[in-house]
Structure 1
Amino acid sequence: MTDGRSVLTRTSFRLPFLLLGGLALLAGLDAALALLGLPHVLVGARLADVHGPLMVLGFVGTVIGLERSVALGRGWGYLSPGLNGLGVVATVSVLPDEVGAGLVLAGQLGGLLVYRSLYARQPAAAVAVQVLGQLMAVAAAALWLGGVPVPGIMPWLVGYLVLTIFGERLELARLGALSPRDATVAQGVAVTVLVAAVVSLLAPEAGFTLLGLALAAAALWLAVKDVARRTVRSTGLPRFIAVCLLAGYVWLAVAGAVWALGGQVEGRAYDAAAHALFLGFAISMVMAHAPVIMPAVLRRPLPYRRAFVVPAALLHTSLAFRLAVGDARDLDWAVQAGGVGNIVAVLLFVAVAAWSALTARRTTTAPPAPSSSTVRAEEFGSRREGEGAEEFGSRREGEGAEESGSRREGGGPGEAPPTRHHDTVITSHGVPS
């Protein structure tokens, strides 16, 4: 079939969007070297001031936008990651900063329209939390375009990442024994994150303190209610995902504690809080779900390998060294050593993922698209047969697939089985199982 929809499902169509996100990642890491006072490759010094927006809105924003576009299954949806990616190119180039920020803002607004359609399709609380996160991404991009310094837009960048992931994990927790009260508490935490960002524009100290308390509450909720606390006792990919998730929640709590106790911190405390959140939490989410996200988006297998553990372990150990030795003791060399370890961990993970995907093409017979014969129960440490997965919903974890909206393959008590069989995508994560 050669209609428009078949074009949207081709790897050759989707790959350029992912490469634009990769460009943002590389440019952001180069800027990180410059911020650490180390030799950078090309554009690091010029991009040091926009390191945060480049990594969050550029890298994560483009990847999440691509996930959502695949979930929507409409051609217009790809305008969001496309505009966002062009914003990355403009930011990296010599064009005025306003051009890149303006394109990123347009891309995030497009993402909000995508979410509007997804919420209309599935008006669930978990999706609503992600909509709040996308609203915060739009606000962050607008403030960036308006010339607000990065520390001033920090709560909005944080809220975008945390609420996007929180919404995804809320949906997965629902598959367990989640009570209505638990869901209400989660929604209350999400609203508090948004309120804290608004307050931070008027009263920074109070806003950051409230943000810290909200992040600590989110970390506690996730640690207690997330299915990872059970799947960590499993093996293989489910256990890898669970360990990355739980480690990320610890870092989320660390960032929350710093802001709750210190308010709008500066210097070493700012470095500790920002990197605990953006590296320890967000990048850990990306590592956890890459073996699930990439097959769904690119329609190519990405088998889990034990080698994935190496960059994940390096990320957390180098970050712990950076914060506990470098930031806590105000030692430049320790911050630099930890920072280099962070960068190496990210690049090593990309290399391992590329190796896994390339070798899978030669040594496995897995189909290019997610299989409909296995389901998201893989994260729970088991497999079961099902009918398929509804769009904005299924994920593959190794051989299985997990759902990302409020859809369950085969359904559950009081739940209708899925009826659509479009492309499927994971939407956590980064983020995001």
Structure 2
Amino acid sequence: MNRLPFLLLPALFYLAIGGGLARLGLALPTTLGAMAWHGFVMIGGVFGGLIAVERAVAAKVPWAWLAPLAAFVGAALLLANRVEGAWAITLASALLTAVTLLLWRKQPQPFTLLLAVAAACWLIGNGLMLAVTDTNAVLGWWVAFLVLTIAAERLELSRLMPKPRRAEAAFVAITLAMLAGLALAQAWLIAATQLLLAVWLLRFDVARHTIKGRGLPRYIAVCLLSGYGWLVIGAAALWANGNYLGGRFDDLALHAVLVGFVMAMVFGHAAIILPAVTGWRLRYHALFYLPLLLLQLGLLCRLAGTLAGFHAAIVTGAGLNGIALLVFIATAIARVQRGRPRTAFQ
């Protein structure tokens, strides 16, 4: 069962990405639901579903698999333009919150608590979406779900690095400030906390040291550090825009984080997560830098288009981002070996 989501990913990603590109004006074969529910499908159905798979594997209780099941069923319903899909994804977020609380009880550590807080952010955002609340508020909680989930996973690995005691206290303060910004709907505070979180990760993440290595460790570090850089740019764009939508920098404020930060983390973490979850071995090759390069080029086009007010550049950048994701999936499929993994990447 844990392998099924990865077998469905290519089609699900194509439809979701196609919907986003169609919203920008590109005539691509997709569904009306993919256009209308693009954000809900990508954040909840795709990323939320995959995160729920990872947590279900860690929890080792049968009912935990209801969360990814609800997320993927919800995504399919939304792609068919069925509003019931929104309720299914909201159920998935509630179940994921329960699963992460269970993990926290089993392992009471700061990073497991943060995973639960992140899942709760997803649940709050979905609840606000169903209540037809201001889209800005919904997006804020959704983005926080992904950002804090990634931050929690990096916080766990940062334990391997020596750091001053005040570093963890600073991390907690940043997280609390971000939650306050979300609750008060203060974009400037959310932007400031995103910036501070990026600085914290750049300072204390193990990637600062593994970037000096070779092969897989270096590739993962490049993914991570590039993602932290885009988190900084996204924070700056949000600060300049003053909101998530309706301003000159809205595309950059969202996609620098959701594509530049989140997708870079996906590219890097897939090296570890896919073998651990599915049992498939993934043989590392320098070709994995190609989709990462395409991702960066697409984001640079979006950055230039935003600064120059040139919509065609934004559309081109979005297209390159979509191609980057599909190339990454194709490369990963080509490098997969079935069998019991001996290491994360071979």
**Pairwise TM-score range, normalised by the shorter structure:** over 0.9
Q: Of residues 161, 169, 173 in structure 1, which corresponds to 2:154?
A: 169
- Asked if 1:264 corresponds to 2:246, the answer is no
Give the CA deviation at 1:16: 2.1
Give the CA deviation at 1:135: 0.6
Q: Of residues 65, 72, 75 in structure 2, which corresponds to 1:78?
A: 65
Mapping for residues 292-331 of structure 1, pairs under 5 Å = 292-324=272-304, 326-331=305-310
Specify which structure has the higher proportion of helix. Answer: 2
> Which residue of 1 is the match for residue 18 of structure 2?
30
Conserved? CA contact 1:296–1:369, under 8 Å: no
Mapping for residues 223-372 of structure 1, pairs under 5 Å = 223-265=202-244, 266-324=246-304, 326-357=305-336, 360-361=337-338, 368-371=339-342
- Local SS of the residue matching 2:243: coil
> Which residue of 2 is the match for residue 415 of structure 1?
none
Q: Distance in 2 between matches of 1:254 and 1:327?
A: 12
> Which residue of 2 is the match for residue 5 of structure 1?
none
Instruction: Identify if the C-alpha distance between structure 1 residues 111 and 23 changes in structure 2 by more than 3 Å, giving closer, same or farther.
Output: farther
Mapping for residues 131-146 of structure 1, pairs under 5 Å = 131-146=116-131
Conserved? CA contact 2:251–2:306, under 8 Å: yes
> Which residue of 1 is the match for residue 345 of structure 2?
398
Does 79-88 or 25-34 show the bigger shift?
A: 25-34
Q: Distance in 1 between matches of 2:81 and 2:138?
A: 23
Conserved? CA contact 1:129–1:187, under 8 Å: no
Give the CA deviation at 1:40: 1.6
Q: Distance in 2 between matches of 1:234 and 1:108?
A: 38
Mapping for residues 60-79 of structure 1, pairs under 5 Å = 60-79=47-66
Conserved? CA contact 1:20–1:62, under 8 Å: no
Conserved? CA contact 1:132–1:194, under 8 Å: no
Instruction: Identify if the C-alpha distance between structure 1 residues 129 and 86 changes in structure 2 by more than 3 Å, giving closer, same or farther.
Output: same
> Which residue of 1 is the match for residue 179 of structure 2?
194
- Cα deviations by residue, 1:268-302 (Å, 9 ceiling, x for unpaired): 40001111000000000000111211111111111
Q: Distance in 2 between matches of 1:23 and 1:116?
A: 32
Give the CA deviation at 1:15: 2.1
Give the CA deviation at 1:151: 3.1
Conserved? CA contact 1:314–1:345, under 8 Å: yes
Mapping for residues 204-215 of structure 1, pairs under 5 Å = 207-215=186-194
Instruction: Identify if the C-alpha distance between structure 1 residues 31 and 333 changes in structure 2 by more than 3 Å, giving closer, same or farther.
Output: same
Conserved? CA contact 1:31–1:47, under 8 Å: yes
Give the CA deviation at 1:25: 2.2
> Which residue of 2 is the match for residue 406 of structure 1?
none
Q: Of residues 14, 17, 22 in structure 1, which corresponds to 2:2?
A: 14
Q: Distance in 1 between matches of 2:62 and 2:292?
A: 35
Conserved? CA contact 1:237–1:397, under 8 Å: no
TM-score (norm 1): 0.77
Q: Distance in 2 between matches of 1:103 and 1:20?
A: 18
Give the CA deviation at 1:26: 2.3
TM-score (norm 2): 0.95
Pair member with larger Rg: 1
Q: Distance in 2 between matches of 1:17 and 1:85?
A: 8
Give the CA deviation at 1:218: 0.3
Give the CA deviation at 1:261: 3.3
Mapping for residues 21-60 of structure 1, pairs under 5 Å = 22-43=10-31, 45-60=32-47
Q: Distance in 2 between matches of 1:251 and 1:94?
A: 32
Q: Of residues 95, 98, 104 in structure 2, which corresponds to 1:119?
A: 104
Q: Distance in 2 between matches of 1:311 and 1:57?
A: 23
Q: Distance in 1 between matches of 2:209 and 2:199?
A: 16
Matched to 2:111, the amino acid is A
- Asked if 1:104 corresponds to 2:89, the answer is yes
- Cα deviations by residue, 1:384-421 (Å, 9 ceiling, x for unpaired): xxxxxxxxxxxx5425xxxxxxxxxxxxxxxxxxxxxx
Q: Distance in 2 between matches of 1:338 and 1:238?
A: 28
- Cα deviations by residue, 1:138-162 (Å, 9 ceiling, x for unpaired): 1111112222354331110110011
Matched to 1:74, the amino acid is V
Q: Distance in 1 between matches of 2:38 and 2:255?
A: 12
Unaligned runs of 5+ in 2: none
Instruction: Identify if the C-alpha distance between structure 1 residues 162 and 114 changes in structure 2 by more than 3 Å, giving closer, same or farther.
Output: same
Unaligned runs of 5+ in 1: 1-12, 201-206, 362-367, 372-395, 400-433
Q: Sequence identity, in percent?
A: 31
- Local SS of the residue matching 1:14: coil
